[in-house]
Protein backbone atom coordinates (compact mmCIF):
# COMPACT_ATOMS: atom_id res chain seq x y z
CA UNK A 1 0.00 0.00 0.00
CA UNK A 2 1.44 3.42 -0.96
CA UNK A 3 1.74 6.34 1.41
CA UNK A 4 -1.23 8.24 -0.03
CA UNK A 5 -3.54 5.29 0.51
CA UNK A 6 -2.33 4.87 4.08
CA UNK A 7 -2.99 8.53 4.81
CA UNK A 8 -6.45 8.31 3.29
CA UNK A 9 -7.32 5.32 5.48
CA UNK A 10 -5.89 6.88 8.61
CA UNK A 11 -7.91 10.07 8.20
CA UNK A 12 -11.28 8.46 7.52
CA UNK A 13 -13.61 9.44 10.35
CA UNK A 14 -16.49 7.10 9.59
CA UNK A 15 -16.96 3.63 8.17
CA UNK A 16 -20.57 2.70 7.51
CA UNK A 17 -21.50 -0.52 9.22
CA UNK A 18 -23.07 -3.23 7.08
CA UNK A 19 -26.81 -3.58 7.34
CA UNK A 20 -28.21 -6.85 8.56
CA UNK A 21 -29.55 -7.67 5.08
CA UNK A 22 -26.21 -7.02 3.38
CA UNK A 23 -24.91 -10.57 3.80
CA UNK A 24 -21.64 -12.06 5.06
CA UNK A 25 -19.54 -10.97 2.09
CA UNK A 26 -20.26 -7.28 2.70
CA UNK A 27 -19.48 -7.68 6.42
CA UNK A 28 -16.13 -9.34 5.67
CA UNK A 29 -15.12 -6.54 3.27
CA UNK A 30 -16.21 -3.96 5.82
CA UNK A 31 -14.07 -5.55 8.52
CA UNK A 32 -11.04 -5.62 6.25
CA UNK A 33 -11.39 -1.89 5.77
CA UNK A 34 -11.69 -1.29 9.53
CA UNK A 35 -8.60 -3.41 10.21
CA UNK A 36 -6.63 -1.40 7.64
CA UNK A 37 -7.55 1.83 9.41
CA UNK A 38 -6.62 0.42 12.83
CA UNK A 39 -3.28 -0.89 11.54
CA UNK A 40 -2.53 2.43 9.86
CA UNK A 41 -2.81 4.15 13.25
CA UNK A 42 0.37 2.43 14.43
CA UNK A 43 1.33 3.79 17.85
CA UNK A 44 -0.86 6.88 17.42
CA UNK A 45 -3.45 7.38 20.15
CA UNK A 46 -6.78 6.19 18.72
CA UNK A 47 -9.87 8.35 18.39
CA UNK A 48 -12.24 6.76 20.91
CA UNK A 49 -15.25 8.42 19.31
CA UNK A 50 -14.34 6.82 15.99
CA UNK A 51 -13.93 3.39 17.61
CA UNK A 52 -17.24 3.85 19.43
CA UNK A 53 -19.03 4.74 16.18
CA UNK A 54 -17.51 1.74 14.42
CA UNK A 55 -18.38 -0.79 17.15
CA UNK A 56 -21.30 -3.09 16.41
CA UNK A 57 -22.38 -6.48 17.79
CA UNK A 58 -22.51 -7.62 14.14
CA UNK A 59 -18.72 -7.44 13.83
CA UNK A 60 -16.47 -10.44 14.54
CA UNK A 61 -15.46 -11.20 18.12
CA UNK A 62 -11.82 -10.29 17.49
CA UNK A 63 -12.64 -6.91 15.97
CA UNK A 64 -15.18 -6.06 18.66
CA UNK A 65 -12.60 -6.90 21.32
CA UNK A 66 -9.98 -4.73 19.63
CA UNK A 67 -12.30 -1.75 19.28
CA UNK A 68 -13.50 -1.79 22.89
CA UNK A 69 -9.92 -2.22 24.11
CA UNK A 70 -8.97 0.93 22.19
CA UNK A 71 -11.84 2.71 23.91
CA UNK A 72 -11.44 1.30 27.42
CA UNK A 73 -7.73 2.07 27.72
CA UNK A 74 -8.32 5.76 27.04
CA UNK A 75 -8.40 7.09 30.61
CA UNK A 76 -9.83 10.48 29.66
CA UNK A 77 -12.82 9.56 27.50
CA UNK A 78 -13.03 5.78 27.52
CA UNK A 79 -15.60 5.27 30.27
CA UNK A 80 -18.03 7.80 28.79
CA UNK A 81 -17.99 5.97 25.46
CA UNK A 82 -18.31 2.55 27.10
CA UNK A 83 -21.31 3.83 29.10
CA UNK A 84 -22.90 4.96 25.85
CA UNK A 85 -22.33 1.56 24.23
CA UNK A 86 -23.67 -0.30 27.27
CA UNK A 87 -26.83 1.76 27.15
CA UNK A 88 -27.20 1.20 23.42
CA UNK A 89 -26.33 -2.50 23.15
CA UNK A 90 -26.67 -3.92 26.67
CA UNK A 91 -24.19 -5.86 28.79
CA UNK A 92 -22.19 -7.46 25.99
CA UNK A 93 -19.22 -9.57 27.13
CA UNK A 94 -16.63 -7.36 25.45
CA UNK A 95 -18.20 -4.19 26.88
CA UNK A 96 -18.02 -5.65 30.38
CA UNK A 97 -14.35 -6.46 29.72
CA UNK A 98 -13.70 -2.90 28.49
CA UNK A 99 -15.35 -1.46 31.60
CA UNK A 100 -12.63 -3.16 33.63
CA UNK A 101 -9.99 -1.35 31.56
CA UNK A 102 -11.38 2.12 32.27
CA UNK A 103 -9.76 2.56 35.71
CA UNK A 104 -12.55 4.83 36.83
CA UNK A 105 -14.31 4.52 40.19
CA UNK A 106 -17.68 4.84 38.49
CA UNK A 107 -16.76 1.96 36.16
CA UNK A 108 -15.81 -0.18 39.17
CA UNK A 109 -19.07 0.64 40.92
CA UNK A 110 -21.03 -0.28 37.78
CA UNK A 111 -19.25 -3.66 37.69
CA UNK A 112 -19.99 -4.27 41.38
CA UNK A 113 -23.67 -3.52 40.73
CA UNK A 114 -23.65 -6.25 38.07
CA UNK A 115 -21.56 -8.80 39.99
CA UNK A 116 -24.43 -10.83 41.45
CA UNK A 117 -27.90 -11.56 40.14
CA UNK A 118 -30.36 -14.12 41.54
CA UNK A 119 -27.66 -15.29 43.99
CA UNK A 120 -25.29 -16.11 41.13
CA UNK A 121 -21.90 -14.50 40.49
CA UNK A 122 -21.37 -13.19 36.96
CA UNK A 123 -17.97 -14.57 35.92
CA UNK A 124 -17.40 -12.02 33.15
CA UNK A 125 -18.00 -9.15 35.57
CA UNK A 126 -15.76 -10.80 38.16
CA UNK A 127 -12.90 -11.08 35.66
CA UNK A 128 -13.34 -7.43 34.69
CA UNK A 129 -12.92 -6.50 38.37
CA UNK A 130 -9.52 -8.23 38.59
CA UNK A 131 -7.49 -5.00 38.81
CA UNK A 132 -9.75 -3.58 41.53
CA UNK A 133 -9.02 -6.14 44.25
CA UNK A 134 -7.53 -3.65 46.68
CA UNK A 135 -10.66 -1.48 46.67
CA UNK A 136 -13.23 -4.25 46.92
CA UNK A 137 -14.58 -4.99 50.38
CA UNK A 138 -13.68 -8.08 52.34
CA UNK A 139 -17.39 -8.93 52.49
CA UNK A 140 -17.68 -9.03 48.67
CA UNK A 141 -14.52 -11.14 48.29
CA UNK A 142 -15.74 -13.56 50.96
CA UNK A 143 -19.06 -13.87 49.13
CA UNK A 144 -17.28 -14.64 45.85
CA UNK A 145 -15.17 -17.34 47.49
CA UNK A 146 -18.29 -19.08 48.77
CA UNK A 147 -19.03 -20.11 45.19
CA UNK A 148 -17.87 -23.62 44.23
CA UNK A 149 -17.13 -22.91 40.56
CA UNK A 150 -13.40 -23.36 39.89
CA UNK A 151 -13.15 -20.26 37.68
CA UNK A 152 -15.00 -18.11 40.19
CA UNK A 153 -12.88 -19.27 43.11
CA UNK A 154 -9.62 -18.68 41.24
CA UNK A 155 -10.81 -15.24 40.13
CA UNK A 156 -11.88 -14.50 43.71
CA UNK A 157 -8.43 -15.49 44.97
CA UNK A 158 -6.91 -13.13 42.39
CA UNK A 159 -8.90 -10.33 44.06
CA UNK A 160 -7.81 -11.54 47.49
CA UNK A 161 -4.15 -11.39 46.42
CA UNK A 162 -4.56 -7.62 45.92
CA UNK A 163 -6.65 -7.20 49.07
CA UNK A 164 -4.58 -9.34 51.46
CA UNK A 165 -2.15 -6.60 52.56
CA UNK A 166 -5.13 -4.68 53.99
CA UNK A 167 -6.28 -7.64 56.11
CA UNK A 168 -5.13 -8.87 59.48
CA UNK A 169 -3.89 -12.44 59.85
CA UNK A 170 -7.15 -13.47 61.51
CA UNK A 171 -9.22 -11.92 58.70
CA UNK A 172 -7.12 -13.66 56.05
CA UNK A 173 -7.37 -16.99 57.86
CA UNK A 174 -11.12 -16.59 58.25
CA UNK A 175 -11.52 -16.10 54.49
CA UNK A 176 -9.20 -18.98 53.59
CA UNK A 177 -10.36 -21.63 56.09
CA UNK A 178 -12.98 -23.04 53.72
CA UNK A 179 -10.77 -22.59 50.65
CA UNK A 180 -7.94 -24.78 51.96
CA UNK A 181 -10.37 -27.70 52.16
CA UNK A 182 -11.32 -27.41 48.50
CA UNK A 183 -10.68 -30.81 46.82
CA UNK A 184 -9.15 -29.07 43.77
CA UNK A 185 -5.41 -28.64 44.14
CA UNK A 186 -5.30 -25.52 41.96
CA UNK A 187 -7.54 -23.66 44.41
CA UNK A 188 -5.57 -24.69 47.51
CA UNK A 189 -2.17 -23.95 45.94
CA UNK A 190 -3.36 -20.49 44.87
CA UNK A 191 -4.49 -19.85 48.45
CA UNK A 192 -1.15 -21.04 49.85
CA UNK A 193 0.71 -18.53 47.67
CA UNK A 194 -1.32 -15.75 49.27
CA UNK A 195 -1.11 -17.07 52.83
CA UNK A 196 2.66 -17.63 52.78
CA UNK A 197 3.35 -13.89 52.57
CA UNK A 198 2.70 -13.80 56.35
CA UNK A 199 4.85 -15.25 59.12
CA UNK A 200 2.67 -15.39 62.23
CA UNK A 201 2.13 -18.52 64.30
CA UNK A 202 -1.51 -18.65 63.24
CA UNK A 203 -0.47 -18.65 59.59
CA UNK A 204 2.02 -21.43 60.27
CA UNK A 205 -0.73 -23.44 61.95
CA UNK A 206 -2.99 -23.05 58.92
CA UNK A 207 -0.20 -24.20 56.59
CA UNK A 208 0.48 -27.11 58.95
CA UNK A 209 -3.15 -28.18 58.59
CA UNK A 210 -2.74 -28.31 54.81
CA UNK A 211 0.50 -30.25 55.13
CA UNK A 212 -1.25 -32.85 57.29
CA UNK A 213 -4.65 -33.13 55.61
CA UNK A 214 -4.12 -32.04 52.01
CA UNK A 215 -3.08 -34.05 48.97
CA UNK A 216 0.57 -34.95 48.41
CA UNK A 217 0.91 -32.00 46.05
CA UNK A 218 -0.77 -29.37 48.25
CA UNK A 219 1.15 -30.73 51.24
CA UNK A 220 4.40 -30.14 49.33
CA UNK A 221 3.48 -26.50 48.65
CA UNK A 222 2.43 -26.00 52.28
CA UNK A 223 5.74 -27.40 53.57
CA UNK A 224 7.67 -25.15 51.18
CA UNK A 225 5.63 -22.20 52.46
CA UNK A 226 6.43 -23.06 56.09
CA UNK A 227 10.09 -23.39 55.15
CA UNK A 228 10.07 -19.92 53.55
CA UNK A 229 8.89 -18.28 56.79
CA UNK A 230 12.20 -19.00 58.59
CA UNK A 231 11.00 -18.18 62.10
CA UNK A 232 11.78 -20.13 65.26
CA UNK A 233 8.17 -21.25 65.37
CA UNK A 234 8.23 -22.49 61.76
CA UNK A 235 11.46 -24.40 62.44
CA UNK A 236 9.91 -26.09 65.47
CA UNK A 237 6.86 -26.93 63.41
CA UNK A 238 8.98 -28.51 60.67
CA UNK A 239 10.76 -30.65 63.26
CA UNK A 240 7.41 -31.91 64.51
CA UNK A 241 6.07 -32.47 60.99
CA UNK A 242 9.19 -34.34 59.93
CA UNK A 243 8.38 -36.92 62.60
CA UNK A 244 4.59 -37.02 62.55
CA UNK A 245 3.30 -36.45 59.02
CA UNK A 246 1.20 -39.38 57.75
CA UNK A 247 3.44 -40.44 54.82
CA UNK A 248 7.15 -40.91 54.36
CA UNK A 249 7.13 -38.61 51.32
CA UNK A 250 5.77 -35.76 53.40
CA UNK A 251 8.13 -36.42 56.31
CA UNK A 252 11.08 -36.34 53.92
CA UNK A 253 9.86 -33.07 52.43
CA UNK A 254 9.67 -31.57 55.94
CA UNK A 255 13.24 -32.76 56.63
CA UNK A 256 14.38 -31.17 53.36
CA UNK A 257 12.89 -27.83 54.39
CA UNK A 258 14.62 -28.14 57.75
CA UNK A 259 17.99 -28.66 56.06
CA UNK A 260 17.40 -25.47 54.07
CA UNK A 261 16.67 -23.62 57.33
CA UNK A 262 19.90 -24.61 59.03
CA UNK A 263 21.95 -24.12 55.86
CA UNK A 264 20.70 -20.52 55.71
Report DSSP letters for 9-44, one per residue. Answer: HHH----PPPPGGG-HHHHHHHHHHHHHHHHHHTTS
Q: Which of 15, 75, 81 is nearest to 48 (CA)?
A: 81
Q: What is the mean pLDDT of residues 128-156?
A: 94
The pLDDT assigned to 13 comes to: 38
* Any domain includes 30: yes
Q: Which helix (H) or strand (E) holds 128?
A: helix 123-128
Query: For 55-70, how does the pLDDT look when each residue is reduced to its tens digit (9 = 90+)?
Result: 999 999 999 999 999 9
* Any domain includes 21: yes
21 pLDDT above the threshold of 60: no
- pTM here is 0.82
Q: Which of 176, 264, 202 is nearest to 228 (CA)?
A: 264
> What φ, ψ does residue 198 adopt, rounded to 5°?
-100, 165
More confident residue, 13 or 62: 62
* β-bridge partners, 117: 120
219 pLDDT above the threshold of 50: yes
Q: Which of 218, 165, 231, 166 is nearest to 191 (CA)?
A: 218
The number of distinct structural domains making up the chain is 1
The pLDDT assigned to 209 comes to: 96
The span from the CA of 176 to the CA of 65, in Å, is 35
Q: What is the mean pLDDT of residues 136-161?
A: 96
Question: Count of CB atoms within 10 A of residue 127's CB?
Answer: 17
Domain that holds residue 84: 1-95
The span from the CA of 168 to the CA of 197, in Å, is 12
* Confidence class for position 168, pLDDT limits 50, 70, 90: very high
Amino acid sequence: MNKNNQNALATKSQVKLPREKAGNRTIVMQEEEIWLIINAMGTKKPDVKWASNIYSPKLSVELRQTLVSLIGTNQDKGWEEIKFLLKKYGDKKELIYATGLCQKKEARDWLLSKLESNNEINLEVLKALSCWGGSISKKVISRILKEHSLEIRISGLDLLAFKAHQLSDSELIDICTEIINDPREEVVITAIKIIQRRDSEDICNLLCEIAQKGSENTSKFALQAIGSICSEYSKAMLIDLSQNLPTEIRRNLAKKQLRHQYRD
